[in-house]
C-alpha cells in the first residue's frame, strides 16, 4: 500500500505554499495525486515538479536592459 500526504504536508516538505501544491495538483503535474472529497491526496514519495513560472526581470527605472549594481 502506498503512503499519502495532504497538500499541507507536501507544502511543508517542499517549502512552498499549500495553494501552490493545490495548483500543481489541479494542473496534473504531480503524478498519483487525486482529490478525495475536498482534500488533495499526494503520494509520499512524489517529487516536486520544476517551476515553469516565468521569473520577473530586475529593472532600473523601468529599463530592462540595465544591470542593477550591488554597490
**DSSP labels, 7-60:** HHHHHHHHTS-HHHHHHHHHTT-STT-EEETTEEEEETTPPPPP--SPPPPP-B
Residue that the C-alpha cell 550591488 belongs to = 70
Q: Are 68 and 58 in contact (CB under 8 A)?
A: yes
- Kindly tell me if the per-residue pLDDT of 68 is higher than 70: no
Sequence spans of domains, the chain: 4-43
| pLDDT tens digits, one per residue of 17-60 | 999 999 999 999 999 999 999 999 999 999 999 988 777 776 66
pLDDT on residue 30: 98
Enclosing H/E stretch for 6 = strand 4-6
For residue 48, what pLDDT is reported?
96
What's this model's pTM, rounded to 2 decimal places? 0.71
- pLDDT for 67: 54
Amino acid at each position: 500500500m502506498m503512503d499519502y500526504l495532504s497538500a499541507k504536508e507536501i507544502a511543508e516538505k517542499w517549502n512552498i505554499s499549500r495553494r501552490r501544491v493545490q495548483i500543481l495538483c489541479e494542473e496534473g503535474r504531480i503524478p498519483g495525486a487525486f482529490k478525495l472529497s475536498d482534500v488533495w491526496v499526494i503520494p509520499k514519495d512524489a517529487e516536486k515538479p520544476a517551476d515553469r513560472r516565468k521569473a520577473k526581470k530586475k529593472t532600473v527605472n523601468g529599463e530592462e536592459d540595465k544591470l542593477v549594481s550591488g554597490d
